[in-house]
Amino acid sequence: MKNIILSAIVLASAILFIKNNILAEVSEELDPAEVSIGERLFLETRFAQAYYANSKKADPALDKTITFNASLKSPFAGKTMNCRACHMVDEHKDTPSAGMRSYADYAKRPPVPNRDDSAYTSGRNSMSMVNISLPFQAQKDQGAVFHYDGEFNSMEDLVRATYTGRNFGWLVGEEKLAIEHIAKIIRNDNGEGALAQEFGGRYSTLLKGIDKNLAVKFKLPGKYRIDVLQATDKEIFNTVAKLVAAYVTNLTFQIDNKGNYVGSPYDAFLKKNHLPRKPNKNESAKAYSSRLLKEINNLKQPLFVTKDEGKFSSHKQEFVFARKELQGMKLFFKKGTTKSTGGNCVSCHAAPHFSDFGFHNTGLAQQNYDERHGQGAFKKLMIPGLMKRNKNHNNFLPATSKHMTTTSRFRSIASKDKPGYTDLGLWNIFANPDMPAPQKKLKNIMCLQNKAAGNTSCSTTVLLDKTIAAFKTPILRDLGHSNPYMHSGQFDNLQQVVQFYVASSTLAKNNNLRNSEKALKEINLSASDVEPLVAFLKSLNEDYD
């Protein structure tokens, strides 16, 4: 009898253990409700101006997916704009000329709906959204801002501006109309669409969050709930922004329970050689990167990652970290001098995230302008100082609801037909009175950068000059899922990017680069260094899905 009781206890314990583990696995796989509903809103194709104006007619801008080497049938053909149209994942994963994306697209600049303002594409390339909003220590220290020019103070601000902006077909001054339209879509949703069937039914039921028939995965926490039949348009719109922000914030590369990256050959190499995989507490990313380089240089017999230890399913490369990748890593982390090679990439792309989340002038704006207007034209370009710029908003700064008829001359694509028009990046936003929200963070970021470069002044006037042609540092993980590269999308492959930096460094060393940075002068790469450096950058790829 005693043995039977013991056996029963053991069996019950085993069942409980299995049940708990199954529940744990399920709970790990399920996204929080705000993330799931945020994903539905991210995919929603009825928020655009074209849907408002034409009811259910399709937007021609979505007929095709534009890539860097071909045009493909769009997964959103027959619909109007949504977030996923510019931030794709697996829509073309089986197409050889396209493949997976890490919430980026394939175009140099994505198409936008036609509104008779001569704008057929966005002004800049679509940045990958994975890891873009994580509260990394670098962002905690200086403050997280978003977009290539730091226009948005939070992810919610970015979402609000996107839904009411040009990418969704809305013109400056139409924000109120856009908000009314989006609120109407939310209120009147009948729950019969394909997205509704997949994501929990009517918006009114989902967002209220109290229906007993709601699946657990769609039951919103109280802070996200709203009764859309009682709420104002603005309240509904702000809830939409909060939910989409929750979804985007959840987009991350693979990490373990200790916060170490684990998805790439580079990460596997660090683990295999017992190398530090992230900074110590209170250690900066740059200090960690410097320490890591020392440990790499001290490796007498590095253990390489071979093709038998892993396999990519979404990249056309072997899952390896060998001698060439190690050579490239050393180039990436090392400063170049007149006597030794080094890429000094880590100056702006510190490990383990491979971004400092700051703003830097790479020389790309100057290259693009000079190609269209002659060598040296960018250095001669009249760019006003702080007082003149802010007193003449319509002549120099981007359009806003307070200034709707501006030239936006310094937030434009450089064109041979329009001398004086180019994209100066952060310069358009920094100390711009029409954009107060990010200013404290932007000044802090630029002040920290200026001091790191050995300059003491943090006056707004001085810092404004440092913002000329400066753009936000992208994250270099999984670049194989986000080409073409740079804010202009003009480089199809990484070899072109590295060669561009070599050319830009030469300009800086010869004092021919406007608003040059010291980091560019500390690049010294030969032609034979390009392939190892590219091999290292490819070792940061992973199977993002």
The model's pLDDT over 31-82, given as tens digits with 9 standing for 90+, comes to 899 999 999 999 999 999 999 998 768 899 999 999 877 889 999 999 999 9
Residue type, 328: G
Q: Say how far apart CA 173 and CA 399 lie, in whole Å.
A: 10
Range of the domain at 20: 1-30
Whether 113 and 64 share a structural domain: yes
**CA 481, 485, 489, 492 torsion-angle sign:** negative
Secondary structure element (H or E) that encloses residue 25, with its range: helix 2-29
Of the three residues 249, 272, 296, the one that is the final residue of a domain is: 249
ω before 352 within 30° of 0 (cis)?
A: yes
**For the ranges 124-133, 134-143, 196-205, 383-392, which has the lowest average pLDDT?**
134-143
Does any domain span residue 189? Answer: yes
Evaluate whether residue 500 is within a structural domain. no
Q: Which burial class, exposed, middle or buried, applies to 512 when counting CB atoms under 10 A from its CB (0-12, 13-18, 19+)?
A: middle
Look at residue 186 and tell me whether its pLDDT is greater than 70. Answer: yes
Closest CA to 452 of 207, 285, 268, 241: 285
Q: Are residues 84 and 188 in the same domain?
A: yes
Binning pLDDT at 50, 70 and 90, where does residue 10 land?
very low
Which residue among 196, 214, 249 closes a domain? Answer: 249
Share of the chain above pLDDT 90, in %: 87
- My answer on whether 422 and 366 are in the same domain is yes
Instruction: Classify residue 504: in a domain, yes or no.
Output: no
Q: Give pLDDT, residue 25.
A: 38
Q: What is the pLDDT of residues 508-522, one digit of tens each?
A: 999 999 999 999 999
Pairwise CA distance, residues 141 & 151, whole Å: 18
Can you spell out the DSSP letters for 115-151? -SSS--B-SSPPPP-TTTT---HHHHHH---BSTT--
Q: Indicate if 334 and 392 belong to the same structural domain.
A: no
- Residue 448 has what pLDDT? 93
* pLDDT per residue as tens digits for the range 280-302: 999 999 999 999 999 999 999 99
Q: Looking at the structure, tell me whether residues 106 and 143 fall in a common domain.
A: yes
Q: Looking at the domain assignment, is residue 510 inside a domain?
A: no
Per-residue model confidence as pLDDT tens digits over 356-370? 999 999 999 999 999
- 163 in the same domain as 47: yes
* Model pLDDT for residues 320-377, shown as the tens digit of each residue: 999 999 999 999 999 999 999 999 999 999 999 999 999 999 999 999 999 999 999 9
Domain count, the chain: 4
**Is 496 inside any structural domain?**
no
pLDDT band at 21 (very low <50, low <70, confident <90, very high): very low
Say how far apart CA 360 and CA 515 lie, in whole Å: 10
Number of other residues whose CB lies within 10 A of the CB of residue 191: 15
pLDDT for the residue numbered 139? 63
Shared-domain flag, residues 199 and 106: yes
pLDDT digits (tens, 9 = 90+) for 128-183: 999 998 765 556 667 799 999 999 999 999 999 999 999 999 999 999 999 999 99
Residue 479 has pLDDT above 60, yes or no: yes
CATH number at 214 reads 1.10.760.10
Same domain, 312 and 435: no
Within 13 Å, how many C-alpha atoms sit on residue 81's CB side? 26
Q: Are residues 431 and 525 in the same domain?
A: no
